[in-house]
Amino acid sequence: MVKVIVLIVGLVIIGFILWWFFGKHTVNAVSAESNGQTQQINIDVNGGYSPENVVLKKGVPAVLNFTRRDSSTCLDHVVFSDFGINQTLPKNEAQSIKIDTSKAGEYQWACGMDMFHGKLTIK
Amino acid sequence: MSITKRFWISLVFSLPMLANMILIPFGWMLPGGDWTQLILTTVVMVVSAGPFIKSAWASFTKHHSNMDTLVAIGTATAYFYSIYAMATGQPVFFESAAFVTTFVLLGQVFEERMRNNASNAVEKLVNLQAKDAEVLRDGQYVRVPLEEVVSGDVLRVKPGQKIPVDGVIIKGSSSVDESMVTGESMPVEKTVDDAVIGSTINSNGTFLFKANKVGDQTMLAQIVELVKKAQNSHAPIQKLTDKVSDIFVPVVLIIAILTFLVWYVFLAASLANALIFAVSVVVIVCPCALGLATPTALMVGTGCGAKMGVLIKNGEVLEAVNDVKTVVFDKTGTITEGQPKVTDVVGDEQRVLTVAASLEEASEHPLAAAILKRAKALNLTGQTAQQFQAVEGKGVQAVLGGQTAVVGNHKLLADFKFDAAMEQREAALQDAGKTVVYVGVDDRIIGMIAIQDVPKETSKQAIADLKARGLKTVMLTGDNERVAKAVANEVGIDQVIADVLPSDKADHVQALQKSGKVAFVGDGINDAPALTVADVGIAMGSGTDVAIDAGGIVLVKNDLRDVDRALALSRKTFNRIKLNLFWAFIYNVLGIPVAAGLFFAVGLSLSPELAGLAMAFSSLSVVTSSVLLNKAKIETRARVA
């Protein structure tokens, strides 16, 4: 009897894992705040990036402020491979990263181990 | 708290439990028994493993998972089960939670160090920068910080000093050690009008130079920028790991649950044993090793290249190099010096050159420059020529010391006496692909000067190296067939495509691509389309900015042998990436079944502690293997064979 219950609970947990990690969960795109001259957005680094989907206006110099609150070594660098940026993120310190917005397109960023990802859309 | 601190705390509090484990057979037990273990492990869990749990939870709420998720679940399971076991009077395994935490942190401490090691090539380059400069201000040389130097400033460099920025020498001469920027090991002689590179070291002379590039425009700054981009670029081979990393952790969690269910429900193992297998599975897998395999090798490989003066722009290029079958060269400036030189003088050398130099002194023709250079090298001074006269389509004529002298092309032969011996020599020179200039005095041709854009000294060796690698070599040139063939024969090129219009170079490269991947080596503006079209574009560093932008690999020191080195380095790096990935995959593929107890029947199983140790060292070994790339020798085949 106990074993049957354990089996059912185990399978339910598996189902939950599948739904939680692989199910469709909408991620909202957040636009950077722009004052016409520059645009800025704060990105919180804690178990991933929030927001992790950032929209920038083309042609307006942009600054992304990353603040890492997570002590995981995985997140201690942020890499924009298209821009040649590999910035260390000391814990609890805002790090500004300037992005060249002259070319429209979608760009990925990732943590130093390529486990966490974020998306940058310039349009 | 830093990782190192967390590691030390974890270690100190785990040691008594280690002693307990080892000394139990000898009759020694930890005073306080399970209670002491509980307290020690609680400290480890809160202080050292706490951040793992926090991070895992933060990513969980975002529907993400990572390394920390696994460590957190593994250690928490062991910890909380042990508390339950203690309450119900069963055997505990607190030490597993503490040891796994210690090992994981140990791995991360090393890994962090190695990762810094892998990425410090750029830092080293930046540190080459001089801190200040001696600049001419209001008639006096004053020391100013580097940032205050502007383009157009006149700077003084004394022996042993670093040249602060890029520029051109206006007074003095010296030999300069450029190895740190170009990788060229021999000092280079520099005199007036020669370009100097910022951050290189002046050795014996004092000179003045005019700055023409400062700040982020200098060659060093550009190299740093290039290397940075390359080091963080994405290699296509990574796409696979990108996909795997997204599903890796959840899949492993599912496998762990299945492991537990199979052992507990179907194989009737005890709750404790079934849990141990599940925890081992969670702890042994290492998605980090997969994620680190490519970027670390790329970082070391491109950094290593920068040291040799071979700049590989990104991971894509590195991967493409691996399948290159044909190497196509532009001729002028790539295989050859790019500047015509006098190779032979027929007749009385002194007289012939003196006459030619006197007449060509005012000319700006490249052939004239070659003649003047040679005359200057032999310390011949021209006579004053009078009554200059251009002979339409043939050359120039003037009066030299009462005699009529003439210098020009073969059309002159119609009007002058030309003896048979000279005619023979002429044919030989032309067959060798040289341009012949005729020199006449009065009514006879007194001599000939053969001029050729000669191959660089290193070209022959470079081609031989590539051929030894089994690559086909092709030369593309706008020159005529005869000149092209002569150069090709001299350096050993397999195939010549001559009379190519600049605009057609890219088409020829495309045609060659039908029989395999093509690397194109060039330097001029007209090479840019071909550099872009080719699978791998290799630009000579002396070339135009356009060509350098178009190329995927830039050879800073303009030595054609670096083509082979670039190929060797790319291959080596790419092979290392493949090795890393193979190791990371195999490790996980083999590790999971062992940890899950699949081989329990034959006596092969892993405790969570050993699984944690294996995990820590798998990512460490990948990073170490990348760093070792630094030590790998880049050999050129021909010299080995």
**For position B639, what pLDDT does the model report?**
47
Q: Mutate which of A71, A92, A106 to disrupt the B interface (most B C-beta within 10 Å)? A: A71
Identify whether B564 is a catalytic site residue: no
Q: Does B292 touch chain A (CB under 8 A)?
A: yes
Question: Which of B138, B177, B142 lies closest to B156 in space, CA to CA?
Answer: B142
Q: Classify B11 as helix, strand or coil.
A: helix
Question: What would the two tokens of residue A37 be?
Answer: 């001259």
B59 contacts on A by Cβ (under 8 Å): 47-48, 116
Helices B561-595 and B287-308, packing angle to 10 deg: 170
Given a contact cutoff of 8 angstroms between Cβ atoms, the answer to whether B438 and B412 are in contact is yes
**For position B108, what pLDDT does the model report?**
82
Peptide bond just before A51 cis, omega within 30 deg: yes
CA distance A95 to chain B (A): 18
Instruction: Among B57, B258, B292, select the one facing A47 at the smallest CB separation.
Output: B57
Question: Which of B182, B185, B152 lies closest to B168 in space, CA to CA?
Answer: B152
Question: Which of B297, B294, B290, B281 lies closest to B614 in space, CA to CA?
Answer: B281
Q: Classify A116 as helix, strand or coil.
A: coil
Q: What CA–CA distance (Å, rounded) separates A47 from A41?
A: 18
Given a contact cutoff of 8 angstroms between Cβ atoms, the answer to whether B208 and B172 are in contact is yes
Q: What CA–CA distance (Å, rounded) separates B553 from B531?
A: 10
Q: Does A9 touch chain B (CB under 8 A)?
A: no
DSSP, residue by residue, A55-113: EE-TTS-EEEEEEE----GGGSEEEETTTTEEEE--BT-EEEEEE--SS-EEEEEEETT
Q: What CA–CA distance (Å, rounded) separates B620 from B626?
A: 10
Question: What would the two tokens of residue B616 be?
Answer: 């820590």
User: Half-sphere exposure of B634 toward its Cβ, with a 13 Å CA cutoff?
Assistant: 23
B162 phi, psi to nearest 5 deg: -80, 140
Instruction: Among A11, A72, A114, select the one facing B295 at the smallest CB separation.
Output: A114
**For position B543, what pLDDT does the model report?**
65
Question: Which of B327, B328, B340, B330 lies closest to B502 in space, CA to CA?
Answer: B330
Question: Which of B140, B146, B176 lies closest to B158 in space, CA to CA?
Answer: B176
**With helix as H, strand as E and coil as C, how does B469-492 read?**
CCCEEEEECCCCHHHHHHHHHHHC
Q: Are strands A117-122 and B310-312 parallel, antiparallel or unpaired?
A: unpaired
Question: What would the two tokens of residue A87 be?
Answer: 């910035």
Query: What architecture is the A27-122 domain classified under in CATH?
Result: Sandwich (2.60)
Given a contact cutoff of 8 angstroms between Cβ atoms, the answer to whether B313 and B404 are in contact is no
List the single residue in A with minimal CA-CA distance to B254.
Answer: A14
Instruction: Among A10, A70, A80, select the one facing B55 at the smallest CB separation.
Output: A70
Which parts of chain B sit beneath pLDDT 50? 637-641
Question: What would the two tokens of residue B158 be?
Answer: 């004394």
Q: Report CA-CA distances (Å) from A65 to A58, B595, B598.
A: 18, 42, 48
Burial of A28 (0-12, 13-18, 19+ CB in 10 A): exposed
CB pairs below 8 Å between A and B: how many?
Answer: 119
Q: Report CA-CA distances (Å) from B441 to B1, B199, B352, B398, B400.
A: 90, 52, 9, 10, 9
Question: Which of B327, B324, B334 lies closest to B520 in space, CA to CA?
Answer: B327
Task: Name A89's Cβ contacts closer than 8 Å, sequence gap at least 6.
Answer: A45, A66, A67, A68, A75, A76, A77, A78, A95
**In one letter, which amino acid is B98?**
A
**For position B640, what pLDDT does the model report?**
42
Longest dimension (CA), chain B: 123
Q: Does A80 touch chain B (CB under 8 A)?
A: yes
Given a contact cutoff of 8 angstroms between Cβ atoms, the answer to whether B325 and B517 are in contact is yes
CA distance A1 to chain B (A): 10
User: B264–A6: do the CB atoms touch at under 8 Å?
Assistant: yes
**How confident is the model over A46-101, as pLDDT tens digits?**
888 888 888 888 888 889 999 988 877 778 888 888 887 888 888 888 889 888 88
A62 phi, psi to nearest 5 deg: -120, 145
Please tell me whether the interface predicted TM-score (ipTM) of this complex is above 0.90: no
**For position B517, what pLDDT does the model report?**
92
Helices B219-231 and B94-127, packing angle to 10 deg: 160
Sequence spans of domains, chain A: 27-122
Q: What CA–CA distance (Å, rounded) separates B307 from A111?
A: 27
CA distance A55 to chain B (A): 19
Q: What CA–CA distance (Å, rounded) separates B156 from B339?
A: 30
Question: What would the two tokens of residue B116 be?
Answer: 């810094």
Question: What would the two tokens of residue B104 be?
Answer: 């994981």
Q: What CA–CA distance (Å, rounded) separates B477 from B455?
A: 14
Place of tokens 């210690």: B102
Q: What CA–CA distance (Å, rounded) separates B361 from B635?
A: 47
Q: Does A61 touch chain B (CB under 8 A)?
A: no
Question: What would the two tokens of residue B527 be?
Answer: 């090479």
**For position B635, what pLDDT does the model report?**
62
DSSP 8-class letter at B504: G
Sign of CA dihedral B95, B96, B97, B99: positive
Question: What would the two tokens of residue B336 be?
Answer: 């050859």
DSSP 8-class letter at B493: -
Q: Mutate which of A25, A78, A86, A113 to disrupt the B interface (most B C-beta within 10 Å)? A: A113
Q: Are strands A94-99 and A62-68 parallel, antiparallel or unpaired?
A: antiparallel
User: Which one from B166, B330, B535, B559 is the annotated catalytic residue?
Assistant: B330
List the single residue in A with minimal CA-CA distance to B238.
Answer: A114
**For position B636, what pLDDT does the model report?**
55
pTM of full prediction above 0.80: no
User: B68–A72: do the CB atoms touch at under 8 Å?
Assistant: yes
Given a contact cutoff of 8 angstroms between Cβ atoms, the answer to whether A97 and A80 are in contact is yes
For all residues of chain B together, what is the average pLDDT?
Answer: 85
Given a contact cutoff of 8 angstroms between Cβ atoms, the answer to whether B550 and B528 are in contact is yes
Q: What CA–CA distance (Å, rounded) separates B601 from B596?
A: 12
Q: Are strands A77-80 and B553-555 parallel, antiparallel or unpaired?
A: unpaired
List the single residue in A with minimal CA-CA distance to B108.
Answer: A73
Question: What would the two tokens of residue B244 be?
Answer: 């795997």
